[in-house]
Structure 1
């Protein structure tokens, strides 16, 4: 079983923000249909299942994402976890992959690492750095030019995730799907 968790913040005010690109990707995957809602209060998020694939949108807010992942991990015991998140240190439009490693200052990743460790694959979607300060930048909406590019970026990331679910080979997926801005 594979768990794909897209990180973001709940609430209408955060819906189109850079920090919610993980949620956007999960929503894109859900549009393919066939997923059953298996959400429960104990999972602290929206959880969907299709075959041996679980899709999670934690409702704990970004900085406590680990609580939701731990609850799902403890219950379903997936053998593969993929976390999709925004990455300030990567230019907008770029996609990179990694297994484990440091959180790079990302509070959602720090939370997950503290509760389940860091032995999971990461799909890092670049949002670049703005001039508004980190918090204001990640919690602001994509600009109009970025919004036009976002569907193609999300489609590329979605295809990469399906390849990663099938192969579980982060190096192979990285060499085929890494996207430069």
Structure 2
């Protein structure tokens, strides 16, 4: 049987949050599903799920968008991991990252949560931090804006020009982790641009 990978885009539910910085992980799930004409359906683990394949005959991809709020993402992720029999080394969490400049990706496996409450909750629910992360840089807020407000704002008009490329790059990184492993994916994602 083909490997099954659980790929989770963190975010907040509902139209109010759809276009916010905090939901960039879910935007990446939409891109991965769109590439495969896969549709999201409600799952009993409190998430919307699209089951698809990397490509015919290759790894199975379970693309997931939790219905819970960001800070309590762990329950749906752990529920899906149990349902699909997916170990943490086959879980990829895609999320926004304040400490990485906008339009930059960083990939890692394990380690701390860097103050990201969604990642913290997933690590707690899986009983390990040893899952893969695709960290999508959203940058820090300008001036004195509270980071909590910043992540819940939509992307700026200038950022929206570049956002589709960033989302596409993040989707490519997910596919590369599944097909070639984290190290190979890091070498591409972390290479200087231009």
Q: Calculate the TM-score normalised by the size of structure 1.
A: 0.94
* Corresponding residue number in structure 2 for 1:110: 120
Q: 1:126 to 1:180 in 2, by over 3 A?
A: farther
Q: Note the C-alpha offset of 1:163.
A: 1.0
Aligned to 1:101: 111
Give the alignment's Cα RMSD to 1 decimal. Answer: 1.5
Deviation at 1:179, TM superposition (A): 5.9
Separation (CA, whole Å) in 2 of partners of 1:15 and 1:39 = 17
Secondary structure in 1 matching 2:172: helix
Which structure: greater helix fraction?
1
Q: Give the secondary-structure state (helix, strand or coil) at the position aligned to 1:14.
A: coil
Q: Quote the residue 2:159 is aligned against.
A: 146
1:1-181 aligned within 5 A: 1-35=4-38, 37=40, 39-40=42-43, 42-51=44-53, 52-79=60-87, 80-116=90-126, 117-130=128-141, 131-167=144-180, 169-178=181-190
| Partner SS state of residue 54, structure 1 | strand
Aligned residues: 179
Give the conservation status (yes or no) of the 8 Å contact 2:107–2:134.
yes
Structure 1 residue 160, shift from structure 2 partner: 1.3
User: Partner of 1:12: helix, strand, or coil?
Assistant: coil
Q: Which runs of 5+ in 1 are unaligned?
A: none
Question: Where does the alignment leave 5 or more consecutive residues of structure 2 unmatched?
Answer: 54-59
CA drift of 1:39 comes to 3.0
The runs of at least 4 consecutive aligned structure 1 residues that moved more than 6 Å come to none
Report the TM-score when normalising by structure 2: 0.88
